[in-house]
């Protein structure tokens, strides 16, 4: 939806409207709840249908936060927040901004996974677009609603690989909704510019197919050429309707994720957050971790557990960072050991695809002491490789055992351990256990939220290595500067920008990442760095003579703040 925001002679923003009464208060992008002024109530025919009391936004924010605290479960809190978002976007984001450390785990991970599993039960009001395969020839019509006119960023999923929960079908819509909430909450991209989409191609989840409340198309997932044709119809329709849109692919299964990214990355401004966004936040946190450890990235030995598109994406970006630091690509590959559910990946495996560059030569590991050279397990890999860093994106809960972590700690004074899978039950290790097993010497980052760890100096925040530190800021930079493409280099630039503001730059015992309360400032820094990179690569209409101050002004002018602007009648 396009909203006509203008400025008066003093530079103050206001909105001109020709929407009245119930049409106004039922529009979540425009509704002010009990905060409409007297003049607005008169001009927009709200007297009698809005309670006569008037409360400032700040007071209503605090009242709603107390309501959330009074709920008995996180799922109930998520439902309340979604309902609030559906009736008053400004209030929802003002609440998210003020209490982001408490609210974000309810809006997104870990609670969003539970919400996807129960999406049919908690569904209340329409949000976003459900494009089902039976409607494949009506996509142009579906996207043609006037309400979508202001769309600048889309998050799309087909629901097949929701977090570590697998196939959630159309219930996966919770992910695009949640991700776009973070675009707005963490980076200030106006909510009227966001559009969540689920591509409903069926589900292989029998529990959903048998659920009378399942909201999706009751059909086994389509695959192969039929699936590819459907996706192509969707992308063609998006390019036609929103030619300058930023399209983010989210939670597609491994066989499709990298294929779709490679298929369309040169056709429109697009990226895959699971592959590229995850890699960027991990590299940003790892660069900070190497400062804390005192061992530079080029001298680390790295085990990545989980050889899917996310794991390989992380490894590729770490490798790029190493090359940026001056070592050859050939030498950088020697630092990696990729482990999947069947053990260390070696050149003996015939079914390798995009993992192949990271496979170890059998000749290189011939002297390793292992029980079975055809199936070298994680513990054996840690011991024989001399690994100093352990990254988990395997969705195998508890695979980082005490024995594995103890072995890692023998290789280095300060081991780096990132169990990144989510939700919580899929996490490779509890970070509190990792710290206990290493006498608190490990440098830990997780993919989901955990309570602080008690140290002799008091509680210390567990760093959540969450994509929300990266993709909102990257999106802000791309959209504000009008970039036509998203490049791999932008994700490395974003990672370095994040590492540059890490607390460890001032205190090696500090956190790797700034607190979530500072995430909007983090997003702004990343947006500036990404915008500069887009200009360097010639991907915008702006010339190379645009200086940093001018870039900052462009970005600041683009940022939306959750405040109630005055409403005036459209002339």
The annotated binding site is made up of: 161, 250-251, 274, 422, 466
Residue with tokens 């087909």: 158
**Burial of 353: CB neighbours in 10 Å, binned 0-12, 13-18, 19+:** exposed
**Secondary structure in 3-state letters for 23-82:** HHHCCCCCCCHHHCCHHHHHHCCCECCECCCCCCHHHHHHHHHHHHHHCCCHHHHHHHHH
Query: What span, in angstroms and rounded, lies between the C-alpha atoms of 272 and 300?
Result: 27
Q: Confirm whether 6 is a catalytic residue.
A: no
Q: Quick one: how many helices (H) and strands (E) in the chain?
A: 23, 17
Q: Token pair 């290493």 is at which residue?
A: 438
Which bin fits 458, alpha (ψ -120 to 50), beta or left (φ > 0)?
left
Rounded Cα distance between 26 and 84, Å, is: 12
- What torsion, rounded to 10 degrees, do the Cα atoms 132, 134, 138, 139 define? 30
Type and span of the H or E element at 556: helix 548-558
Q: What is the DSSP string of 65-128?
A: HHHHHH-SSHHHHHHHHHHHHHH-HHHHHHHHHHTHHHHHHHHSTTHHHHHHHTHHHH--S--S
In the chain, what is the straight-line distance between the N-terminal and C-terminal CA atoms, in Å?
Answer: 19
Which residue blocks in 211-308 are alpha helix, DSSP H? 224-241, 254-264, 278-293
- Candidates 431, 378, 441, 384; CA nearest to 409 is 441
Integer Cα distance of 122 and 511 in angstroms:
36
Residue 220 tokens read as 């086994």
Q: Which residues are annotated binding-site positions for a divalent metal cation?
A: 250-251, 274
Q: 3-class DSSP state for residue 458? A: strand
Per the annotation, the verdict on 108 as an active-site residue is yes
Q: What is the DSSP secondary structure assignment for residue 218, as one 8-state letter?
A: -
Q: Are 306 and 392 in contact (CB under 8 A)?
A: yes
Among residues 179, 193, 265, 426, the one annotated as catalytic is 179
Listed residue (232, 283, 289, 243) closest to 467, CA to CA: 283
CA distance 560 to 313: 32
Looking at 99, 108, 558, 564, which residue is catalytic? 108
Which two tokens mark 444?
């830990």
Q: Which residues belong to the annotated binding site for (S)-malate?
A: 161, 422, 466
Catalytic residues: 108, 179
């Amino acid at each position: 939806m396009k909203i006509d925001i203008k400025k008066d002679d003093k530079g103050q923003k206001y909105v001109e409207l020709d929407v009245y009464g119930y049409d106004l208060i039922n529009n979540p992008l425009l509704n002010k709840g009990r905060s409409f002024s007297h003049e607005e109530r008169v001009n927009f025919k709200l007297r009698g249908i809005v309670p006569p009391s008037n409360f400032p936004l700040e007071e209503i924010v605090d009242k709603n936060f107390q309501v959330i605290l009074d709920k008995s479960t996180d799922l109930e809190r998520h439902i309340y927040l979604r309902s609030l978002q559906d009736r008053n976007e400004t209030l929802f984001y003002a609440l998210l901004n003020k209490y982001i450390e408490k609210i974000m785990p309810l809006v997104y991970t870990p609670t969003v996974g539970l919400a996807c599993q129960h999406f049919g039960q908690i569904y209340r009001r329409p949000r976003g677009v459900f494009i089902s395969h039976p409607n494949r020839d009506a996509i142009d019509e579906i996207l043609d609603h006037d309400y979508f006119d202001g769309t600048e960023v889309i998050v799309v999923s087909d629901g097949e690989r929701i977090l570590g929960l697998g196939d959630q079908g159309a219930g996966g819509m919770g992910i695009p909704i949640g991700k776009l909430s973070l675009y707005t909450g963490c980076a200030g991209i106006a909510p009227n510019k966001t559009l969540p989409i689920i591509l409903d191609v069926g589900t292989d989840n029998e529990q959903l197919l048998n659920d009378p409340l399942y909201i999706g198309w009751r059909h086994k997932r389509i695959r192969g050429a039929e699936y590819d044709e459907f996706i192509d119809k969707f992308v063609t329709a998006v390019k036609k309707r929103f030619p300058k849109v930023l399209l983010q692919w989210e939670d597609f299964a491994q066989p499709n994720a990298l294929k779709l990214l490679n298929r369309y990355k040169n056709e429109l401004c697009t990226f895959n957050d699971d592959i590229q966004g995850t890699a960027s936040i991990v590299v940003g946190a790892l660069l900070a971790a190497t400062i804390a450890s005192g061992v530079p990235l080029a001298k680390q030995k790295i085990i990545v557990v989980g050889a899917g598109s996310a794991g390989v994406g992380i490894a590729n970006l770490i490798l790029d960072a190493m090359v940026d630091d001056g070592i050859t690509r050939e030498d950088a590959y020697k630092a990696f050991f990729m482990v999947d559910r069947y053990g260390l990946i070696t050149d003996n495996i015939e079914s390798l695809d995009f993992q192949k560059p990271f496979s170890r030569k059998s000749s290189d590991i011939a002297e390793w002491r292992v029980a079975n050279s055809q199936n070298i397990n994680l513990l054996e890999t840690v011991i024989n490789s001399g690994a100093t860093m352990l990254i988990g994106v395997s969705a195998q809960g508890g695979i980082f055992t005490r024995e594995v972590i103890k072995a890692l700690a023998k290789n280095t004074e300060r081991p780096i351990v990132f169990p990144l899978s989510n939700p919580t039950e899929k996490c490779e290790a509890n970070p509190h256990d990792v710290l206990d097993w290493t006498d608190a010497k490990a440098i830990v980052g997780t993919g989901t939220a955990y309570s602080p760890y008690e140290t002799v100096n008091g509680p210390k925040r567990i760093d959540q290595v969450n994509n929300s530190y990266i993709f909102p800021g990257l999106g802000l930079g791309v959209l504000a500067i009008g970039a036509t493409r998203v490049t791999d280099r932008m994700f490395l630039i974003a990672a370095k920008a994040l590492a540059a503001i890490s607390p460890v730059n001032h205190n090696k015992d500090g956190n790797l990442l700034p607190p979530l309360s500072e995430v909007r400032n983090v997003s702004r820094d990343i947006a500036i760095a990404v915008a500069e990179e887009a200009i360097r690569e010639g991907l915008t209409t702006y010339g190379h003579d645009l200086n940093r101050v001018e870039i900052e002004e462009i970005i600041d002018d683009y940022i939306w703040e959750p405040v109630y602007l005055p409403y005036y009648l459209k002339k």
